Amino acid sequence: MSLVELIARADARGLAGSGLACLDRCVPLLDGGDEVLRPLWAALADDAPAGPGWARELDRVRDALAGPDATGEDESVVLARRMLAAAPAECSGAGLRAWADACSAASLRIHRLLDPATDAAALGDGVRREDGADALSPLVAAELRRQLTVLDALAGNGPAGLRRALEISTEGRRVLRAVVSRRARGRG
């Protein structure tokens, strides 16, 4: 099943987990620590993920990751900031589906922008999420696989699926942190 189809079929917890996982993998761009999103993961693990815990923790995370005005920031950082800003306060409804879909596209775009094997000048609008990982650069292909695996893990598996999604996101965050670090050294 394609990424677009998996997002279309996901329940509220799956959508929130998918969007959060994309954001989690991109946290290095926001200078966030490895544990900054942990309270949001915990809010999703509760029996009622649509409860007030999500909104409260989302406000705390936004405060913790508040950065400068986006003027002059790298496109990848701007996309990560938009993911966080667009997160819905209510962990249900059509807004959640739109956020998960936008996070998926933004995360793939970020990985494409940061991939050293990709010519930034030749980048198009994004990555086709209906297809497999064929003909994608290694960093983007790995992100696409992570997104598919996260959605599969979250499909009807409740809190156990969230644990697996968090593990996958932690791995992806480490990869992106290394890419960001290498890129910063190359500029300096």
Whether residue 71 is predicted with pLDDT greater than 70 in this model: the reply is no
pLDDT tens across 8-50, in order? Answer: 999 998 999 999 999 999 999 998 899 999 999 998 887 555 5
**Phi and psi angles of residue 80, each rounded to the nearest 5 degrees, phi first:** -65, -40
pLDDT tens across 173-183, in order? Answer: 999 999 999 88
CB atoms within 10 A of CB 172: 25
Looking at the chain, the whole-number percentage of residues with pLDDT higher than 90 is 62
Nearest Cα to Cα of residue 5 among 155, 188, 143: 155
Q: Looking at residue 146, what is its pLDDT? A: 97
Q: How many residues does the chain have?
A: 188
Q: Are 137 and 115 in contact (CB under 8 A)?
A: yes
Q: Looking at residue 172, what is its pLDDT? A: 96
Nearest Cα to Cα of residue 21 among 184, 148, 179, 185: 148
Q: Looking at residue 188, what is its pLDDT? A: 59
Q: Are 113 and 107 in contact (CB under 8 A)?
A: no
Q: Are 180 and 30 in contact (CB under 8 A)?
A: no
Residue partners of 146: CB distance under 8 A and separation at least 6: 21, 25, 168, 169, 171, 172
Q: Per-residue b/e over 101-140, b at no fewer than 16 CB within 10 Å?
A: bbbbbbbbbbbbbbbeebeeeeeeeebebeeeeeebbebb
**Phi and psi angles of residue 28, each rounded to the nearest 5 degrees, phi first:** -55, -30
Q: Looking at residue 69, what is its pLDDT? A: 59
pLDDT tens across 117-163, in order? Answer: 765 544 454 555 455 555 688 999 999 999 999 999 999 787 889 99
Q: Looking at residue 94, what is its pLDDT? A: 87
